[in-house]
Amino acid sequence: MKTFFSRTNAIKTAWLLLFVTLALTNACRPISNPAQTDLEEVLPNVITLTLSSPQGNTTAVWHGSTNATGSAVHIDTLVLAAGRTYAGAISAVNATKSPSVDLTAEYKKLADEHQFFYIVAGDAKNRVSITVTDKDGNNLPVGLEFTLAASAGASVRGTLNVVLSHYDGVKKNGTSMSSESDIDITFPVVIR
Amino acid sequence: MTISRHSFVLWACMMLTQCCFIPALYGQILVGTVLDNRTSKPLSSVRLYILESKRGMLSRADGSFTLPIGERGTYTLRATLLGYTALEERIVATSPDTIRIRIRLQQAVVRLAAARVVTDRINSDNLPTQNMTTITTQDLERSRGQTFGEALQNVAGVTLMQTGASISKPVIRGLHSQRIVVVNAGVAQEGQQWGAEHAPEIDPFAPSKIEVVRGAAGVEYGAGAIGGVIRVLPRTLPRGTWFGGEAQTALFTNNSQGVLSLALEGGKAVIGDSNTLLNELGKGFGWRTQGSARRAGDSRAPSYVIGNTGFQEINGSVAFGYTGERFGIEAYYSLFTTELGIFSGAHIGSLPDLLRAMENGRPLVDYEWTYAIDAPKQQITHDLWSVNAHYAADCGRFELQYGWQQNNRAEFDSHNARIRGDSGVLMQSLMRPAMNLQLTTYSLDAKFRHKPLNIAPEAVLTGIVGGSGVAQWNVQSGRAFLIPSFQAQSGGAYLIETLAMPDFIANAGFRYDARHVNVIGSEFRDIPDTTQTFSGFSAALGVVMNFGLEINTNDSTQFISLQTSQRPSFKPFSLALNLASAWRAPLVNEQFSEGVHHGTAQYEIGNPNLKPERSYSADATLALRTEKAHFELSGYVNTIDNFIYLRPDAANPTVTIRGTFPTFHYAQTFALLRGVDASADALLSDNVRLGGTLSLVRGDNVADSEPLIFMPADRLRSFIRYEAASLLGMADIFAEISSTLVRTQDRFPANVDYAAPPPGYVLFDCAVGGHVETFGTRLSWNVSVRNIANTAYRDYLSRYRYFTDDPGRNVVVRVSVPFGDGR
């Protein structure tokens, strides 16, 4: 009579044990749970244009959402006085963090990899001229500081497109945009 | 590369085993006996067939047979007998001695006493009536070294969605990714199929066969198999005394790719003295280990380099098993690792950037050719363990399959990391993946194939009842966000019954699945913790019938040709009809994504309230098989209710800090897909074969009455091949010229895509190959040229088509050297 401990059964059991052990060894591999936030990408969500002149100042703010999607929440209209010349500056802040992160300093530090472009369109196009005044180490424009002149005339509307080009693969030459825009926002403009 | 230590040790073991092998013996005539595995009685009328030489015979009354092998080399002997499981045995002939072999056939559950139906269909794991194409080892050999997806491109109804040379996703009848199931070594592959640039993680050298099931197969494979199934079958383990292997290499000129692969296998381990327990253990033993490595530089379009499209892959697998009288068990482990570059010009931050890159008509930068892989890039590893066991009881056969797999996907950005402070920190951040996803899946499948029931003199009923359970975790990390972390559990149960009669098979199946998903919310992304349960049924009904005048194969000689049939006489026509319903649950990316998709510059918004997709499909296949010709024509209709797609919201573009992007919402519609697949293959003379495949798909978004986006363009592939048993001292010579005609896709939704579908194109390929007897082995070689004319073209389904032409001419040289001994 066959007992459970017959040779064939012992063989089968040995094989089964081997495979079960293998399977279990694997099953017990721990599932690693890496940290959820790991060097978050810090993009600005508040961009402020500050224009000052002896006759008076004006600002316009572009507010992005505080979640990570980067979509716009509120965009101010830039109100310019006809016939006035402003000294302008741009600042970019990430306010989703506490404390908030000022990215303007970083753009200044890595000025040779960044350039702001200001493009006016609409009826305001021929009334506004913007000249970048700051330079990077290679004497190329950066665009964190500029002068803005609004010529005298009737009241018109238009838009101001602000683009921050980041130069990674392409070398910055001071005139052409890179294929990579870190900031690309548009303010409505009114000249009164 | 991120290979776990565990995997590395296994990998090292595999490579070590492969460093030593034993030299070979020789053989000219194969003499053997076929026995019933259980009763050890000789079996007569067993069809014995050598696949390579296409010669065969029936075993005599005493079970004996004699087959001439003729030349040295490795052969595959297939033994088939109605009612028994077909067996393939590896034979190596390398000396003038006679090779003696004893074959034991296992009685199949299907005992079709009088039924002369196509046994292959019954023995398959798929439904017998289903529309299926098998890519044989021989076909695979000709495309070795290409990606897994590319090996499938000659199958009717299958097209590829490619992202450069390294990423190709199979598209079956217009559906891909989450709508098809890839089964690797019996386990449903659970990779990261979230995007069109996420390819199946499978070593193209591992499979010995690939089966492509067209159409819904929800009953056998559960929720998800709406479009079809791709089954990857590793080689069967050798049995009996055998030690050998194969070394293969391939070189590709287009991207200067080199591939090396080595496989070793053996059977019947002799452990200790004879008649001991250890020795008994060794008798049913078989093992195989296999590894492949490849490295490729940038692909070259006809007139420029496609920057940063290089890749490197290291893959391996180990399998071993024990087969006894009634009980068998097999374990399989495979490791897939790849690092691949993403074309720099396609990694886009804003819409104006995209439009600028597209307007140029060619990459903005003239890239220098290099092997180096820079960011943006992907690093992927996929570990898979499977253990399957079976037990043949008197009442039927029990099968159990356990699977464990872990998929790690790390994606690296080239930029976008604005880390405050110095550029050292920035560099450090670029060294880390922008996104990391780790998906771990456990699965358990159990099935019972009941004993065939003779319900009438010429009618047999077989059936399977089964259940499966899956548990998985996906953990996401990194600053870029694609999907939230989640846990999911799913389970299902099914029943399939098949009625087989002479020249007629009918089957019906029913399955119920449920899936429970627990999404771990993200405060940063405004995603709350969400728990959802989806459930649904799948059903299938099919018939296949053979008709036409019976054709008798030439039975007068001892060595009959069995190339097209395994039966002495058969009816040449068959007609198969199938009705099926399948479903799938919405995936987390469809429910919870929100952000810009790099590469397409679309702002995609998920919808947490999506309902499951439900498909109803019908297909009909008419086939003609004679000894000299093979023709197959299929037509199908697939309606998908709640079809999930990206609906453009042109009125509300999303304004972000990076500019304004077109908005797309995940939405649901009623979709209708229909089409025709055809394949034909005929011997014009003794040496000349002519054939081709045709794939046509039409997809419509019925609710919005417009065509579906990214449906494959009409495609016709045809070839003419010269074959000769020997020529110029070489054996099995072939020379082939083939062409691929692709029509311009003129059915696409208006105002969704950035560019109209590219114009159609014609490509010509050619190949020659054969076997050479040299250095005591039978070396096989082939040289092929793809895109002979170096035509500049862009495929509609190529993800890089906005920016660059597809790769140009590619000369491929492949050599494979088998070795081993067959005592």
Largest CA distance in chain A: 114
Instruction: Retrieve residue B670's tokens.
Output: 């009623």
pLDDT in tens, A171-180: 888 888 877 7
CB under 8 A, 24+ apart: contacts of B368-373: B368/B305, B369/B256, B369/B297, B369/B298, B369/B300, B369/B305, B370/B297, B370/B298, B370/B310, B371/B256, B371/B295, B371/B296, B371/B297, B371/B310, B372/B310, B373/B308, B373/B310, B373/B311, B373/B312, B373/B339, B373/B340, B373/B341
Query: Which run of H or of E encompasses B16?
Result: helix B5-17
Task: Using CB atoms, pick whichever of A29, A42, A184 lies closest to residue B352.
Answer: A184
**Contact call for residues B736 and B721 (beta carbons, < 8 A):** yes
B695 vs B310: CA distance, rounded Å: 30
What secondary structure does DSSP assign to B638-697, as a single string? EEEEEEEEEEEEEEEEEEETTEEEEEEEEEEEEEEEEEEEEEEEEESSSSEEEEEEEEEE
Judge: B657–A36 Cβ closer than 8 Å, yes or no.
no
Q: Is B659 in CB contact (< 8 Å) with chain A? A: yes
Residues 6 or more apart whose Cβ sits within 8 Å of residue B396: B109, B448, B449, B450, B451
Judge: A42–B418 Cβ closer than 8 Å, yes or no.
yes
Judge: A11–B481 Cβ closer than 8 Å, yes or no.
no
State whether B99 and B167 are in the same domain: no
Best of A41, A109, A167 to mutate (most B CBs within 10 Å, chain B): A41
State whether B507 and B560 are in the same domain: yes
Nearest-CA distance from B654 to chain A in Å?
7
**B209 three-state secondary structure:** strand
Confidence (pLDDT) at B513 = 94
Which residues between 754 and 813 in chain B have a beta carbon less than 8 angstroms from any beta carbon of chain A?
none
Residue B60's alpha-carbon distances to B37, B44, B46, B98, B159, in angstroms, are 17, 5, 8, 19, 46
B117 lies in some domain: no
Nearest CA in chain B to A66: B524
Q: How many residue pairs from chains A and B have C-beta atoms closer than 8 A?
A: 151
Residues in chain B: 823
B127 lies in some domain: no
B772 lies in some domain: yes
How confident is the prediction for chain A on average, in pLDDT? 81
Residue B370's alpha-carbon distances to B341, B439, B792, B799, in angstroms, are 11, 32, 21, 21
Mean pLDDT of A50-74: 84
Confidence (pLDDT) at B398 = 92
B114 lies in some domain: no
The domain tally of chain B equals 2
Residue B544's alpha-carbon distances to A43, A179, B503, B576, B620, in angstroms, are 61, 58, 8, 4, 10
Confidence (pLDDT) at A100 = 81
Residue B19's alpha-carbon distances to A190, B111, B196, in angstroms, are 77, 44, 39
Confidence (pLDDT) at B488 = 92
Nearest-CA distance from B386 to chain A in Å?
8
Judge: A67–B524 Cβ closer than 8 Å, yes or no.
yes
Residue A13 has pLDDT above 70, yes or no: no
Nearest-CA distance from B282 to chain A in Å?
10
State whether B668 and B594 are in the same domain: yes
Confidence (pLDDT) at B415 = 57
Per residue, the 3-state secondary structure of A34-97, as one string, reads CCCCCCCCCCCCEEEEEEECCCCCEEEEEEECCCCCCEEEEECCEEECCCEEEEEEEEEEECCC
Confidence (pLDDT) at B560 = 30
Which residues between 346 and 365 in chain B have a beta carbon less than 8 angstroms from any beta carbon of chain A?
349-350, 352-353, 356-357, 364-365
Confidence (pLDDT) at A36 = 42
Q: Is B344 in CB contact (< 8 Å) with chain A? A: yes
pLDDT in tens, B287-334: 889 999 999 999 999 999 998 889 999 999 999 888 777 888 889 999
What secondary structure letter does DSSP report for B237? P
pLDDT band at residue A21 using 50, 70 and 90 as cut-offs: low
Confidence (pLDDT) at B42 = 79
Confidence (pLDDT) at B417 = 44
Confidence (pLDDT) at A11 = 63
Judge: A10–B324 Cβ closer than 8 Å, yes or no.
no
Per residue, the 3-state secondary structure of B243-298, as one string, reads EEEEEEEEEECCCCEEEEEEEEEEECCCCCCCCCHHHHHHHCEEEEEEEEEEEECC
Residue A35, number of CB atoms within 10 A of its CB: 8
Q: Is A34 in CB contact (< 8 Å) with chain B? A: yes
**Contacts A11 to B, Cβ<8 Å:** 277, 280-281, 324
Confidence (pLDDT) at A38 = 39
B473 lies in some domain: yes
Confidence (pLDDT) at B503 = 79
Instruction: Retrieve residue B595's tokens.
Output: 């952000």
State whether B137 and B103 are in the same domain: no
Residue A39 has pLDDT above 70, yes or no: no
Residue B9, number of CB atoms within 10 A of its CB: 10
Q: Is A100 in CB contact (< 8 Å) with chain B? A: no
Confidence (pLDDT) at B708 = 93
pTM across the whole model: 0.78
Q: Which residues of chain B have pLDDT under 70?
A: 1-28, 38-39, 54, 70-72, 82-83, 93-98, 107-126, 195, 239-242, 269-283, 347-350, 414-430, 479, 550-570, 598-601, 821-823
Residue A186 has pLDDT above 70, yes or no: yes
**Contacts B429 to A, Cβ<8 Å:** 39
B712 lies in some domain: yes
Which residues between 158 and 177 in chain A have a beta carbon less than 8 angstroms from any beta carbon of chain B?
166, 168-170
β-strand A128-132 against A145-150: which pairing, if any?
A: antiparallel
Residue A17, number of CB atoms within 10 A of its CB: 10
Task: Using CB atoms, pick whichever of B277, B324, B416 lies closest to residue A41.
Answer: B416
Q: Is B418 in CB contact (< 8 Å) with chain A? A: yes
Judge: B322–A15 Cβ closer than 8 Å, yes or no.
yes
Confidence (pLDDT) at A158 = 92
Confidence (pLDDT) at B5 = 45
Buried b (16+ CB within 10 A) or exposed e, B146-167: bbbbbbbbbbbbbbbbbbbbbb
Q: Is B269 in CB contact (< 8 Å) with chain A? A: no
**Contact call for residues B632 and B679 (beta carbons, < 8 A):** yes
Sign of CA dihedral B649, B650, B653, B659: positive
pLDDT in tens, B54-78: 677 778 777 888 777 766 677 788 8
Confidence (pLDDT) at B112 = 34
Q: Is A73 in CB contact (< 8 Å) with chain B? A: no
Instruction: Look up the ipTM and state it.
Output: 0.73
Query: Which CATH number covers residue B565?
Result: 2.40.170.20
Fold (CATH) for A46-191: Immunoglobulin-like (2.60.40)
The range of the structural domain enclosing residue B22 comes to 5-108
State whether B153 and B70 are in the same domain: no
